[in-house]
Structure formats: structure tokens, C-alpha cells
Amino acid sequence: MKKSRINKNNLARAIRESKKSKIFSIFTPLLRNISLAKKNNFNEKSFSSYCFQHYRNRPIVEDFAGKFNAYCRRQLLRYLTAKTINFNKVEEAFQKSLPNFLNGEHKSYFSKFLKKLRKNKKTKLLVYEHLKNAISEDENLPSIKLLTELDYDIHWTRSLQSLSSNNPTKKRVFTQEFKKLKRLFYRRINRDKILKAIKYKDQLISFYRGNSSFISKSFALKSLLAVSNKLLTSKLYNESKKTYDQIELVFKLDNHEEILFKKLWIYLDQKKLLQAHQFIKKNRLISKFDNFSPKLQFWIADTLNKNGEEKVSAGLFLSIIESRPLHYYSILSYKSLPENHKKSINFVVNSNMTAKQTKNKKQLFSNSSRKYLKRISIWSKHKRLTFIEKELEGLFNLPKKKIFSKKKISRSLSSEQLDNILIQKITKTLNSFGEYLPSFKMIYKGLSEDKVVLSDDILKALFPKSYFNKISKIESDLDPYFVLSLIRQESAFNPIARSTAGARGLMQLMPNTAKLFKKRIRSKHLENPKLNLQIGIKYLKKLVKMFDGNLIYTLAAYNAGENRVIRWRKKIFTHNDPLLTIESIPFQETRNYVKLIYRNIFFYNLIYENKSNIKDPLEESFKISLNQTLNLK
């Protein structure tokens, strides 16, 4: 369905292929409906019988059907704007489609249809009734542009007035004014005009308080938290604490995790450990420990540890590791534990039954699941990530007895063991085509739902050694696991990956950066793995030397730019503690980027180097030594 047309030849070919192949037979009903709708030139029968059908339990078919339904809605509007129509025959289809039209789909056609209604009073009454009902149900109005196309009677006007507080146009006016005040705050604080910045911050909170019904609560909360964080980054500790208190009051928040962390951080950033300890006790954070994210959990445990409560903190560190073994803060917890506790920690759990133990069984999977696996292979070969994810969704929705060929297997193994077998099979298939990202997503989802245990095979699937040999040949000074860890985060080993900013290839190089090392290079050349690695490693090595082997500065510069990091070092990075430095990185994306690559390095060394003891202090693990491996283990 390209350029608002259905290609007749392609449609006929698709129908033939779906009939030939059992693998793609699930598409036959949809293709048949498309063909019949086109054959009937999208008349009344098409809209009632062939469009807007459901294809349950077939996620990928539903995805294609959604595109076809959008096409049908366009054809419906074309039908309604024709010279002679019978609205009664397509009234049901119009009613189903109306929410989509009100949300902005096919704006020009819908606007044309509303103009035409003025000439047909009978149809206008029916359509307006449907409009009023749709607006009442959704409590939302169409855009101001569409409203101008309507003729108002007294009842219609009153219907709109009763919902006027939800008018997006009216909301937009207040939201724009809120944004304007926020911009003025940032403009002043970035120029170190502190008093004026505080004045605009107070106006911003006051403006929201008086107009909260017209401004999105979530948007306002996110914006005001960002303003408070900016005050904290600027070392205006008292003003930032005051602002967090104002936010709690205005939004009626109790134990909001981010605010709790930032209030604790005010003391930690000033190295006031005693006050931080008192804050934890006063707010009873230990009793609420299990409800918090690993970030706040770690800093609570770390604060207690530094205030002499080693026994309590050790228990909290162990709790973090047990609940989230793959997390950055689990690694910090592991490295903060006393030596006698570290020996009992094992990040890898061996399951009783894995795919290896079933590899000799012939036809382990049923016909249904083998069709899914075959289609996953085909989509992987053609790099169709969206289709792969839809197929995975469909496969995991199958009952267990339909996934495996023999009932004995389903009955003799636990659900967790069956999921492990299936996930390892899918992972092997995806990885063989270099499709690591859907594999990572699937494993993380399985871990979060307790369907997967963190076995050695699963860890190796999460941290593959793709391109390891090429990296080793290109550069001997940098640890190849360091480079692998960066590539895993940048592109998930996809050599043709592209970012919205224009970065290309395995190491996500910007064309202008690449030209610093190879003048005549073009963007498309960066999709060549060998060339991308050669330039990317040279750039990474340059940053390592520039920042004297500081892992945090090197990674932050690779992500956000070296000039930004130079500015941050002057204004923001005011302490030597690497953990405080990471939490002080102003950009959330860069902050998470550094944490994740540090995590990657740790697990690459754990899996492939099998280093069992941590000999170096925590601070040493944030240093890069050329010609040596990183000291994360």
C-alpha cells in the first residue's frame, strides 16, 4: 500500500505465495479481504464486510491489518465526499473510524467531508450526533482547525462548552506560557543570573498552581523536577531543597522516589555523611527499602556503610545483587561488600535443564512453533526487526503444549525450564543472523517475568563476542572487551545501525568525526564494519589519552562530545569520587550510557576472563590503562 494505492500485481503474488506456503498461510484471510475490498472498489459492502476485521492471536497479522484499516478509513472519507452517497449504509463504519479522525488521521479528507455536510442537513444531524457522543466518551475535542468547519446549533454548542476545560487549543495556550517561563529560567541560570532565575522558578510554580487544570500534570511535574535538578547541579543546595518541598506540596506527593534521592543527594554531594544518615533515619527509608529502585537502594546502603553500619549495609548490598544481578548498582554493591561476603556471590545460576540437554531429541518443537521459528529466520535475514518482535510475541503466546512436539517434554519440565529451552533456541537463531537487539530484549523480558534463569548460556547470549577477533587485530593497546562493551551499547553489533542524529555503524560514528581520521570518507562507508572499527577505535584511543585514562570522562565524551566534558569538569565535576562524578553528569542519556558500559565491561570480564577476585579498589576500576585490561574485576 504505497502512495495510497494497492498494487494489484503485488497483491495477487502475495495471495499465491500465502496459499503455497503453510508458514505464511496466516496472512491469507487478510489478503483475501484486501482483494475483495479492492474488487468492489471500496463500496458500502467493502466497509461492512472486508474492512475493520479482527485477526486475534496473530500479532503480526494485526499489524498489517492496522495499515489496511487506515487505508480503508481514507477510502471511506473519499466515498463520503463523493457527489451521491448513502450515509446510512456506511454509518457503522464511520462510527468505528471517528475516534481516528478526531485524533488527526486523514485531516484534509475529514475537513473536506465536514465542509460538505453543510449542504446535507439530514446527514449533518446524524454525523453531529456521532461527534457529540465520541467527544463525550473520550472527553476530548478535535483540533481548532476542525472545529471551524462545523456549524453550531444550541445543543452542539452546549456540548462543547461542557467540555471546554479539555479543549486542546485552550490547553495549548497555557502550556506554551508555562514553557515560556521555563525557558526564561534556563536562560537566566545558564548566564549565572541566579536571582532572576529563582524569580522565574517561583513564577513557574505559581503559574502551574493557578492553571493546573489546563496543563498536563505529568509534563509539569517532569519540567519542575528538571528545574530543581538544574538548581542542584548549579550547587544551589538550599534553593533546590526548597523547590523539591514546593513540588511535594503542589503535587501532593508522598515518598516520591526521585525527590527522596535528590534530597539525599544534596547531603552526599556536599559530603555531609552524618546529615545524609539522619535523613535516611528520619524518613524511615530502610523500612521502605524493597520499594525503591536499585539506584536509591545503593545510595542508602552506601551511606550506612560509610557511617559505620557495615553489618546492615552488607545485608542491603546482598539484597540488591540478589534482586537485580545484571544492574550497574549490583556491581557497585558487589564491589562495596567486605571480602568475606564476596566469596558467596555467584552471578550465574545453572538451570537443571537447558537446551543443551535436549539437543539430541529429534523434532523437539511442534509444527506450529517451527513455522514461527522459520519466519523469524526469514525476517532476521532481511533485517525486519518489527516483524521479528511480532513473531516473538505470537510464539510466546502459544500454550506450552503447542510449542513442543511431545507432551512428555511439556509435562516433565517446569515452565521456567521450557522457557529457557525456547529462548536459547530463538537466541541461537537470531544471533546467527546478527540480530542481537531482539535477542537482548527477549532475554531481559524473560528475566523480569522470572521465566529465565541467568545461566552461563544466557549470559553469553547477552554479552556476545561478535567482532572480537577483528578488534584484536586492529588494536593491541586497548582492551578488546572495552571496545566490545561500547559497541554493545552503541549499536547492539548492528553494522548498518543509524541514529536519529546521523551516527552510523558499529561504533555509531558521526560522519564529521570520521572525517577527522579519513578525509574523503562518506556516510555510507561507515556501514563497513572493518572501516568503522578502525576509525572508531582510533577516536576512542584519542579520548583515552585526552582524559588521562579516566573511563568516565572518556565514555561521556564519546557520547556527549569532548567539549561538553571539558566544560563539566570546570563547573560540575568538583570531587574525586567516581561514583559521585557519574551521578553528577547533567544529561540522563550520558549518565545511563556510562553506567551501562561499565556494567558491560564487568560482565565481559566475568564471563570470558573468569577473574574471581576483586583486588583493586573501586576507584581503580574507573581507570583505563593502554596495553592493559580494565581493572573491573
Q: What is the mean pLDDT of residues 503-508?
A: 95
Given 98, 130, 163, which residue is the final one in a domain? Answer: 163
Banded pLDDT at 398 (limits 50, 70, 90): confident
What's phi and psi for 118, nearest 5 deg?
A: -60, -25
Banded pLDDT at 81 (limits 50, 70, 90): confident
Q: What is the mean pLDDT of residues 64-78?
A: 90
pLDDT at 485 over 60: yes
Residues 237 and 321 in one domain: yes
Higher pLDDT, 3 or 6: 6
Banded pLDDT at 613 (limits 50, 70, 90): very low
CA angle 102, 154, 124 (to 5 degrees): 50
pLDDT at 267 over 90: yes
Residues 274 and 396 in one domain: no
Banded pLDDT at 411 (limits 50, 70, 90): confident
pLDDT at 20 over 90: no
Most confident of 42-51, 196-205, 453-462, 516-525: 196-205
Name every residue whose Cβ is closer than 8 Å to that of residue 532 and which is 6 or more positions away in sequence: 495, 504, 505, 506, 507, 509, 526
Given 163, 189, 205, which residue is the final one in a domain? Answer: 163
Determine the pLDDT at residue 619: 83
Residues 178 and 119 in one domain: no
Determine the pLDDT at residue 504: 94
Determine the pLDDT at residue 581: 95
Percentage of residues of the chain with pLDDT beyond 90: 49
CA angle 71, 72, 76 (to 5 degrees): 120
Pick the catalytic residue from 137, 490, 609, 620. Answer: 490
Determine the pLDDT at residue 304: 97
Residues 374 and 312 in one domain: no
pLDDT at 369 over 90: no
Determine the pLDDT at residue 353: 44
Residues 284 and 399 in one domain: no
632 domain residue, yes or no: no
CB 493 within 8 A of CB 487: yes
Residues 447 and 499 in one domain: no
CB 26 within 8 A of CB 61: yes
462 domain residue, yes or no: no
Determine the pLDDT at residue 630: 54
Banded pLDDT at 152 (limits 50, 70, 90): low
Distance CA 146, CA 70 (A): 19
Place of cell 540480530: 435
Determine the pLDDT at residue 136: 65
- pTM exceeds cut of 0.85: no
Banded pLDDT at 360 (limits 50, 70, 90): very low
Lowest mean pLDDT across 229-233, 340-344, 537-541: 340-344
Q: What is the mean pLDDT of residues 309-321?
A: 95
* Domain CATH for 485: 1.10.530.10
Given 342, 367, 393, which residue is the final one in a domain? Answer: 342
**In this structure, what DSSP letter does residue 57 have?**
T
Q: Is 75 helix (H, G, I), strand (E, B) or coil?
A: helix
Residues 376 and 511 in one domain: no
Percentage of residues of the chain with pLDDT beyond 70: 88
Distance CA 584, CA 572 (A): 7
Domain of residue 359, residue span: 355-453
Interhelix angle 237-251/194-210, nearest 10 degrees: 0
pLDDT at 184 over 50: yes
Lowest mean pLDDT across 56-65, 140-149, 207-216, 400-409: 140-149
Q: What is the mean pLDDT of residues 353-381?
A: 73
Q: Which three cell numbers stand for residue 498?
A: 543509524
Determine the pLDDT at residue 512: 93
Q: Residue 339: CA atoms inside 13 Å, Cβ hemisphere, count?
A: 6
pLDDT at 145 over 50: yes
Distance CA 453, CA 420 (A): 7
Total domain count for the chain? 4
109 domain residue, yes or no: yes
Determine the pLDDT at residue 161: 47
Determine the pLDDT at residue 39: 87
pLDDT at 614 over 60: no
Distance CA 495, CA 36 (A): 42
Distance CA 263, CA 241 (A): 6
630 domain residue, yes or no: no
**Of the candidates 596, 621, 633, the residue with the CA atom closest to the CA atom of residue 440:** 596
370 domain residue, yes or no: yes
pLDDT at 180 over 50: yes
CB 532 within 8 A of CB 504: yes
pLDDT at 394 over 60: yes
Residues 132 and 249 in one domain: no
Q: In the 3-class helix/strand/coil scheme, how is 441-485 assigned residue by residue?
A: HHHHHHHHCCCCCCCHHHHHHHCCCCCHHHHHHHCCCCCHHHHHH
Q: What is the mean pLDDT of residues 62-79?
A: 90
CA distances to 36, 47, 65, 218, 385 from 33, rounded to whole Å, are 5, 10, 10, 42, 26
Q: Which three cell numbers stand for residue 378?
A: 526469514
pLDDT at 160 over 80: no
pLDDT at 162 over 80: no
372 CA to centre of own chain: 25
Q: Residue 573: CA atoms inside 13 Å, Cβ hemisphere, count?
A: 19
Determine the pLDDT at residue 140: 55
Residues 292 and 310 in one domain: yes
Residues 66 and 15 in one domain: yes
Lowest mean pLDDT across 38-42, 132-136, 222-226, 263-267: 132-136
461 domain residue, yes or no: no
Task: Tell me the average pLDDT of the chain.
Answer: 86
Name every residue whose Cβ is closer than 8 Å to that of residue 346 and which is 6 or more positions away in sequence: none
Q: Is 595 helix (H, G, I), strand (E, B) or coil?
A: helix
Residues 300 and 183 in one domain: yes
Residues 289 and 175 in one domain: yes
Determine the pLDDT at residue 348: 63
438 domain residue, yes or no: yes
pLDDT at 482 over 80: yes
440 domain residue, yes or no: yes
Banded pLDDT at 198 (limits 50, 70, 90): very high
In the annotation, is 490 catalytic? Answer: yes
* Domain CATH for 326: 1.25.40.10
pLDDT at 121 over 90: no
Determine the pLDDT at residue 143: 60
pLDDT at 246 over 80: yes
Q: What is the mean pLDDT of residues 297-319?
A: 96
Determine the pLDDT at residue 419: 79
